[in-house]
Amino acid sequence: MPSTNFVFPVRYVSEGVAVQTTSRELSALGIAVRSLAPPQVGARVSMALYLPNTAVPEVAIGRVARAKAGAPREAGFWADFIVVDPQARMRISHLLSDRDQAEEGNHRGFPRHTVTLGVRFRSARDFVLEHATNISRGGIFIQTDDPPPLDTAVQVEIQLPDEVAPVTTNGVVVHRQLAVGGKQPGVGVQFVDSGDDFRDRIDRYMGTLVKD
């Protein structure tokens, strides 16, 4: 069964370690997950899928069929679903059907919101202070005059309005915008390999944006 490009938050647990990351593709039979340090082939993974239009994540257990570490562009794994609630599988199938009929090229599972947030990020260089201009549950756009190349792994610190310490995550550059045609230069970063505190605080913040 073919898979669909689809980005949404995913929490997986393998060998007692919990990782908050994001998806790459989804089908009714399995899921491709971005992860810079994926579990090994054959590993059993428990997953929470934060699908759009659901109050609580769908829970699934999978077996890693393919995995690749190293280059951020391809790093991650494919897990075949081995235990999924029948109703959850039906909801996934309906969601995929709806997306097939939606606008082609839109892989995001959640809308972006315009924001102004202080951000520090780094790749191979020192941390650079910039600011973000939009955010979703799966990623962030950072305005910068010196955008790193596509598929670069970066570390990101986001200062949320709650005035607590910044939230920190890893990410992969999935979009690069140069200052041409009056466009704002910067990078779109997909969140990968963070912790539960990051997901909890981002989701609470996103909830305030939806209410506004």
Residue 154 lies in a domain: yes
Mean of pLDDT values over 93-116: 75
Gap between the Cα atoms of 4 and 26, Å rounded: 5
Gap between the Cα atoms of 16 and 170, Å rounded: 20
> pLDDT digit string (tens) for 43-78?
999 999 999 888 789 999 999 999 999 889 899 999
- Residue where one domain finishes, among candidates 76, 100, 124: 100
- Residue where one domain finishes, among candidates 69, 100, 131: 100
Calculate the average pLDDT of the chain.
90
pLDDT level of residue 2 (50, 70, 90 thresholds): confident
The domain of 66 spans 4-100
Q: By the 8 A CB rule, do 19 and 43 touch? A: no
This prediction's pTM: 0.90
> pLDDT digit string (tens) for 19-48?
999 999 999 999 999 999 999 999 999 999
Model confidence at 122: pLDDT above 60: yes
Gap between the Cα atoms of 110 and 50, Å rounded: 10
